[in-house]
Structure 1
Amino acid sequence: MKNQQVFFFLLLFVVSLPISTFAAESELLYPQCDQNFTQNHILQSNIDNLLIDMAAQSSLRRFAISTFGRAGYDAVYGVARCDGDMSHEACSACITGVEHDILATCPGSGAVHAWREKCYLHYDVTNFIGKWDHNTPAVWISASKAEDPKAFERGVAELMGEVMAEAAGERETLKFKSGESSLKGEYSDISLTIYGMAQCTQDLQESECIQCLESSLKTMAEYCKGSDGCRIFGSSCVLRYEIYKFLWLDDAVVAAGVEAPAPAPSIADGH
């Protein structure tokens, strides 16, 4: 029930604020701080070491899975994820930034979820690794509507189905897949390309990943129907579609290892 309350509160928060009030890619969006503790120097040391390890892993792999401490006593478990279009350098900078933010925002917390626009970090004193976390703090919805809603929704459903299946089945690294679909000549007279992506955290097996993505797709269908852009922020997975290229994959700056500017978020502004 707590997660549902957080989700609905932040959903209303997101769709009612103007775009100009939202944080840039380099700022913390949705911190959640739980399991407060005091005067446990061993646990705090394990959290500090975990964060250092996850920052180091993300610079090499663009994700991190880490554990420090003794199970059942002072152990802490962590997962970090960057969007699959980020360079190693940009990912490391994003995760390191999240860590700095949560040390200030969530002092003495044994469980933290923290999002920036293009990366996410979660640590907990309870072992969650390999388990689908149902936490969904926000949905970003475009204020613009599709000209041909039925054709557009069919195109979105087909594209999302493809990228979800491929992301869940991806075994080597990022559990990330992007794609595009043209409506012209197939569903509608409108010439339009839809761009989409799906990604899970790397600790999930295929079955857990697809369950998470399917749940996000249901949320997308419920809240984003007819909108020409939608983004689901989740703990274990993310899902997004737009009618513009929002990924950095084709950016020569990223290929050179330099952080590119973040795409403009698609947020309904209460019109």
Structure 2
Amino acid sequence: MFSSSVSKRTVLVPILSVVAITLFFIRSVTSINETNAYLYHKCFEKDGKYKPNSLYEKNLDFLISNVWKNASVKDYIYGMEGGRPNTVYILIQCRGDSYGSKCDTCRSTAYSELRKRCPMKKGAIVWFDRCLLKISPTTFLNEMDLNNKFYMYNKNKVRDPVSFNSKTKTLLTELTKKATRGGPDRDMEVYWLYETGDMKLDGKMKLYGMVQCTRDIKETGCKKCLNRIIGELPNCCDGKEGGRVVSASCNFRYESYPFLDTRK
């Protein structure tokens, strides 16, 4: 995964589920925490294409240009523009530690990259280290999406995988409980459905973790989503020093070093 001090080789594994799940290596990436690395994208062929200068494209451009500017919260947007058959739905969400200009920069980069990688596609999603962007001609509000996901893990292995796997699951499960605890005015907090923490390991080692969901699926959906992907730890990252499962609705990451940006 991505280190704040030393670059580490990682492996990205997309998951395609048609009849059976197929896993394959797609590429290796090298990065550090300070970057906003491109992670993965998917074009939704079933949604079709729009024509240049069409009403659909104008609605999409309007959402990108105006909805973000007028939003009261600058790290998450779910919006729509236009009537059928040219309605566009959009979701933009930044990682919990990427707010302000960092989030805005990631949003701009994601939109530009999505246009390049999925030209004229009505439906698509792109993931960056600091944010995700999803567009669709149909609403996906409150719909948990685990069909579109991928794994990333550090090739380095731990000495005691059984113990390490157990502690990793314990940490991520505890973070999930905190992220989905709800309560009065919880939905007004900047870090809603996002939680970070760490756990002491043997010696001086620590395990650092993060969980986050897109806010459209609410607390109940978030808890279900995170529990599902945490359950994939043996497939994703068995005995690996670091790893993550990233879906369109939720994601987790853990590392043996601090990987989040604590600078304001």
Task: After TM superposition, list the pairs within 5 Å mapping 1:1-271 onto structure 2.
Answer: 3-4=16-17, 11-14=23-26, 17-20=27-30, 25-26=35-36, 28-34=38-44, 35-39=47-51, 41-53=54-66, 55-56=68-69, 60-70=73-83, 72-170=84-182, 171-172=187-188, 173-174=190-191, 175-184=193-202, 190-249=203-262, 254-255=263-264
User: Which consecutive residues of structure 2, in runs of 5 or more, have no partner in the other structure?
Assistant: 1-14
Secondary structure of residue in 1 paired with 2:222:
helix
The alpha-carbon distance between structure 1 residues 38 and 228, as it changes in their structure 2 partners (threshold 3 A), is closer
In the aligned structure 2, how far is the partner of 1:179 from the partner of 1:217?
A: 16
In the aligned structure 1, how far is the partner of 2:90 from the partner of 2:204?
A: 44
Number of corresponding residues: 240
Query: Structure 2-normalised TM-score?
Result: 0.81
Q: Is the 8 A contact 1:60 1:88 kept in 2?
A: no
**1:225 Cα shift?**
1.5
Secondary structure of residue in 1 paired with 2:180:
helix
Secondary structure of residue in 2 paired with 1:45:
helix
Deviates more, 1:104-113 or 1:192-201: 104-113
Q: Which has the higher helix share?
A: 1
Q: Is the 8 A contact 1:55 1:96 kept in 2?
A: no
In the aligned structure 2, how far is the partner of 1:127 from the partner of 1:136?
A: 16
Q: Is the 8 A contact 1:77 1:129 kept in 2?
A: no
Aligned to 1:261: none
Q: Is the 8 A contact 1:136 1:232 kept in 2?
A: no
In the aligned structure 1, how far is the partner of 2:66 from the partner of 2:24?
A: 36
In the aligned structure 2, how far is the partner of 1:21 from the partner of 1:8?
A: 28
In the aligned structure 1, how far is the partner of 2:95 from the partner of 2:31?
A: 23
Which amino acid in the other structure matches residue 85 of structure 1? D
**1:41 Cα shift?**
1.6
Q: Is the 8 A contact 2:236 2:245 kept in 1?
A: no
Q: Is the 8 A contact 2:179 2:212 kept in 1?
A: yes
Which amino acid in the other structure matches residue 42 of structure 1? L
Query: Structure 1-normalised TM-score?
Result: 0.79
In the aligned structure 1, how far is the partner of 2:179 from the partner of 2:37?
A: 27
Q: How large is the RMSD of aligned CA atoms in angstroms?
A: 2.7
User: Which consecutive residues of structure 1, in runs of 5 or more, have no partner in the other structure?
Assistant: 185-189, 256-271
The alpha-carbon distance between structure 1 residues 103 and 136, as it changes in their structure 2 partners (threshold 3 A), is closer
Compare relative contact order (CA 8 Å, sep 6+) and give the higher one, 1 or 2: 1
